[in-house]
Every structure is written in structure tokens, then in C-alpha cells.
Amino acid sequence: MELAHRPIGVFDSGVGGLTVFHALKRRLPHESMVYFGDRARCPYGDRDPREVARFALEIGRYLERLGVKLLVVACNTATAVALPRLREELAIDVVGVIEPGASQAVQASETGRIGVIGTSVTVASHAYADALRSLRPDVCVTEVACPLFVPLVEQGHVDGEAVEAVVRDSLRPLLQERIDTLVLGCTHYPLLMPVIRRVLGPAIRVISSADATAARVAELLAERGLEAPRGHEGDACFLTTGDTASLRMALATWFGEVPGERAVRHVSLPISDQPLQRTAP
Ligand code: DGL
């Protein structure tokens, strides 16, 4: 198949990367996409970083063999620990979510006091602090791990009193730091946006890297001459190592997306032993 007609690969540990998938779909409706959620091994955020890097490479290689023209690592944890390795090992372009999110935060912040929330692995890597400082050396960055958020989202709990109590408790250290901008350094967190905004109040800007990542992908496809032709109607295929029913449920509940029968498929572990999903676009 001609390279420009091939799909974009997008992956995450679970449903969080769907926030990036949807930003891509809004921005690039002509592009086809293959989404991969490694739900059987989610969460990544409390694992050994070497294990996360191994999973990321396994999925990256699988999607490359499937024929994607570009890979979006729609997972901050995998971006933090595996982006250089993925770029080294794969022949296709690889876009992560940290650099686009950091550059949007630097533009948004007036005081330079920026908070970052993410998984334990992302926070321990200081990948955001490094990216923010490389763009604006005088920023004051406070990074806080929120390990309870991903399990809440994966179980479908995104609002209500109990969720708000967890969010309030987790964000308290940031409020004390007088930040003016908060980066959602995990692609699951935008699904908690209404609660996060309620807890933070209107004065703090909240940055999700989804739109900035989609803009970067659009730029890169144009630079490489890899954009799908305007008349092309983009389609989507969803792969999961977990159960297809709960992925369908998440797609319908949060994004109003009801894919066709064959567009949602299970991939067994280990991924490297799997035959390719021949129905992928
Ligand atoms: N959504 C991912 C991230 O952006 C991973 C969350 C997890 O699996 O812990 O970091």
C-alpha cells in the first residue's frame, strides 16, 4: 500500500491514549489509525521502567510490522522511559507526548510556576522537568505522582464525591506551590478534567498534551509528504490485550464512538508471538 495511505499507529497502556487518538481524529480526519491499548498490563506507571520500555518496544515493533507510517506514543510513562530507544529501533517516525505538552505549558504559563502530575514512573524520570527547563530555564517545576488516578479511570470512575476526594488530596501539594499552570502528564487524566478543574479553580490553566501532539503529527506528516489524500476517508481499528467489551464500552461512553464488529480486536500476550491482525486498515 502506498505509504501516505497507511494508518497512524497510536498506543497506550489502556484507554488513556484515546484522548490523543481523538485529538488526532479531529485534527486529521483523512488519516486512518490503529489504536493499541495494552490493557492486560495496565497500569504501566508503577512498574520497573525497564519493563515499560520492553513493552513499548514490543508494541512499537508490532505496529511497525502492521504497516503504520508513523507511531504516536500516547502514553507519558512509555514516552518518558522509551522514546529514544523507540526512535533508534524503528524505521518510522515516533512522536511522544511530553515535548508537545511541555511546550504548550511554557507558552501558557505567565509566572513560570508549573505543576506536573503523572504516574510514579513519569515523575521519577523528571522527563517533564527536563523538557520544561530546556524550553525555559527559569521555570519552577513541581512534579507530583498521582498513582490512584489511572486505576480510577480504567474502572470507569471519573466523577462523583469519592473521585473528587482522591483528586483533591492528590493535588493539595501543588496548590501550596502557587502554580499558575498544571500539565496533565498522563493521557488518562484528561478524562478526569471536570473534577480536576473543580478542585483547582478557574485561575490555574490545565494543559493536556493531546492537541499539541496532534499538531506535531500534522506538521511531521506534511514535512515528510506522508499526508493521506484529502478525498481519503480515515478509518480506525482498535486492538487491545484486554477484553474487547470494556474497550467498546469506554469508546462509547467517553467518545460516542461505536466501531464496527471487526474494528475492535483482541491481541494475546506475548505480542511478539501473535499473527498480525490482517483486518487492520
Ligand atoms: N496513560 C499512560 C500515561 O500517559 C499510562 C498510565 C499507566 O498505565 O500507569 O502515562
> Do 3-96+211-266 and 99-208 show the same overall fold?
yes
Low-confidence ranges of the chain (pLDDT < 70): 273-281
**pLDDT score recorded for residue 270:** 87
- Give residue ranges with CB within 6 A of ligand 1: 12-14, 16, 42-45, 75-77, 119, 122, 150, 186-188
**pLDDT score recorded for residue 233:** 83
pLDDT in tens, 79-100: 999 999 999 999 999 999 999 9
Residue spans of the domains in the chain: they are 3-96+211-266, 99-208
Question: What is the whole-number distance in angstroms between the Cα of residue 42 and the centre of ligand 1?
Answer: 8
Question: What is the whole-number distance in angstroms between the Cα of residue 74 and the centre of ligand 1?
Answer: 9
- CATH architecture designation of domain 99-208: 3-Layer(aba) Sandwich (3.40)
Q: Domain 3-96+211-266 classified CATH 3.40.50.1860?
A: yes
**pLDDT score recorded for residue 281:** 46
**pLDDT score recorded for residue 276:** 66
**pLDDT score recorded for residue 3:** 86
- Cβ-Cβ contacts under 8 Å for 256 (sequence gap 6 or more): none
Residues with catalytic function: 75, 186
**pLDDT score recorded for residue 235:** 92
Provide the grid cell at 78.
512509555
